[in-house]
Amino acid sequence: MAGTLDPVALNDWYAVATLTDLDRAEETKLLGHPITVGPGKQVTQDGKSLPVREKFGVLWTTLGTPNKEIFNIEESEEEGRRFVPCGWVKMRASGLRVVENFLDMAHFPFVHTDILGSEPHTEVLGYKSEIRHDVDEVWATNCKFFQPQMTSTRPDGEFAQLTYRVPSPYVVMLYRVVPDTDGVQDAIALFIHPIEEDLVRAIPVMYLTDQTATHTQLLRFEQVIFLQDRIIVENQRPLLLPLEARAEIPTRADSSSVAYRRWLKQKGLTYGTTTPEAA
């Protein structure tokens, strides 16, 4: 599969490696283009060095010329936060499908049963989705969903207060209000490395206030959820994300997905979608 020429895809930053895993050279692809990651904090294409950035515990690179720097996560700069990188998971799907699945609250009771959701609490309450043009991001706010297990150490069910953020096409974030605090939020990000249009790997990273759970408990909690999602994402058809109107009929619960697809279409992104790339 040839590398893309889509300028929107090329002119962006992508997470391609964990900073602690750069002791040897690894051959891979980014957007279908062969690249070499490492050794050391470097990425090369055809022997030429690509721009790199170190942020959020991972190495970022680009094949083009981004018009802005990598977004910020304020929680990553707060003292006392636990930084938990959860490891890479490979999936046979478009990275855009992975983002959209992350945004979907409706699947919680059926895919993450007795963890993020449970019957009969299946209703997705109304929330606000918007494209914030001043920062070029998609946000979904005032999201609430009943979760039977808020964290690995808090088993009692309650309504979680959630905010979703998409700062770039292949990154999605969740902010969750920590119970019994004055609005303090945990921050969970998913960084996606698009190897090919229909093959990606992704790493969840978390900035948490939880000082009680062990590192193993936190990893297991997140990895169970992610691996459950992988089964669903890999079985969606088509593998690529349709942007055409009415290609997939949304419901009220899909408000964030509608905003995300509209944003991608406004950007002119074709990579990872069913829209043919311009010749």
**Across 215-231, average pLDDT:** 78
**Across 184-188, average pLDDT:** 92
Burial track 55-71 (b if 16+ CB lie within 10 A, e otherwise):
bbbbbbbbbbebeeebb
Backbone angles phi, psi at 144, to 5 degrees: -135, 135
Return the pLDDT at 161: 86
Pairing type for strands 33-37 and 43-45 reads antiparallel
Query: pLDDT band at residue 130, thresholds of 50, 70 and 90?
Result: very high
- DSSP, residue by residue, 70-124: PP--GGGGSTTPEEEE---EEESS-HHHHHHHHH--TTHHHHSBTTTBBTTB---
Return the pLDDT at 65: 97
On average, the pLDDT of the chain sits at: 86
Looking at residue 206, the DSSP 8-state letter turns out to be: E
Return the pLDDT at 228: 78
**Across 18-35, average pLDDT:** 95
**Does the pLDDT value for residue 112 go beyond 70?**
no
Q: What is the pTM of this model?
A: 0.89
Return the pLDDT at 252: 57
* Residue 273 to residue 121: CA distance in whole angstroms: 33
Return the pLDDT at 181: 80
Looking at per-residue pLDDT, the higher value among 229 and 198 belongs to: 198
Looking at per-residue pLDDT, the higher value among 262 and 246 belongs to: 262
